[in-house]
Amino acid sequence: MNIIIFGPPGAGKGTQSDFIVKKYNLFQVSTGKILREEIKNNTEVGQKISSLMSAGSLVEDKIVNRLIEDIVSDKKYENRFIFDGYPRNLDQANNLNNLLSKYKQKIDIVLKLSVRLETVKKRISERKILEKRPDDNEAVAIKRYQTYEKSTEPVIEFYKKLNLLKVIDGERSIDQINKEISDIITLI
């Protein structure tokens, strides 16, 4: 089973992915986490992307797509993916489609956590105290929310047309959302 989870910054994708990974023995692919590691390790890619990421802009598709192929081609994760933060635009969605068919896999379900901008602002100001991400301040959070609406909403439409989309109310408690996601996955 392969899953994609969508949602604006602060929607709780990471929290819900952790839960799904444990419960269904999946492997989480969070491009945000992978890219932050590149910056932390001061790699060539890390040096290229750090200012873009701090500003809340998307990193070049070429860079992200290459990182994804390295993971999707790895047999040990076959049919156990949960993609979190990828694909973020239509180019990436096409790339993922091509890669999955190249490696004889497919997406089984697409989850979208819906959250309002006001909630995003509140959650990000709380998270900033715990995680110290350079892109977690209000202005950049708004920018990331807008990038999400502009670039990622069309991708969600793409999966909706394929009848794969389930929309979840991300304003509710973590436990309630866990429960709804489990009910959806059980039906696959």
Query: CA gyration radius for the chain?
Result: 16
Smallest distance, ligand ADP to C-beta of residue 172, A: 19
Contacts of 121 (CB under 8 A, 6+ apart): 10, 138, 141, 142
Selected range binding ligand ADP among 18-26, 30-38, 96-104, 154-162, rule: CB under 6 A: 30-38
Our finding on whether 4 is near ligand ADP (CB under 6 A) is no
Q: Rounded to the nearest 10 degrees, how much is the dihedral formed by the CA atoms of 139, 145, 148, 153?
A: -150
Give the phi and the psi of residue 39 in degrees, each rounded to 5: -70, -45
Smallest distance, ligand ADP to C-beta of residue 187, A: 27
Our finding on whether 31 is near ligand ADP (CB under 6 A) is yes
Our finding on whether 88 is near ligand ADP (CB under 6 A) is yes
Smallest distance, ligand ADP to C-beta of residue 148, A: 7
Within residues 149-168, the interface with ligand ADP by CB under 6 A covers none
Smallest distance, ligand ADP to C-beta of residue 181, A: 17
Our finding on whether 144 is near ligand ADP (CB under 6 A) is yes
- Name which position in 29, 58, 111, 113 contacts ligand ADP (CB under 6 A): 58
Residues facing 83 on adjacent strands: 4, 29
Q: Alpha carbon 54 to chain centroid distance? A: 17
- Region at 10 (left for phi over 0; alpha for psi -120 to 50; beta for the rest): left
Tokens 């509710």 belong to which residue?
172
Selected range binding ligand ADP among 15-23, 57-65, 100-108, 167-175, rule: CB under 6 A: 57-65
Q: Cα separation of 67 and 24, whole Å?
A: 24
Contact set with ligand ADP (CB under 6 A):
9, 31-32, 35, 52-53, 56-59, 64, 85-86, 88, 92, 135, 144
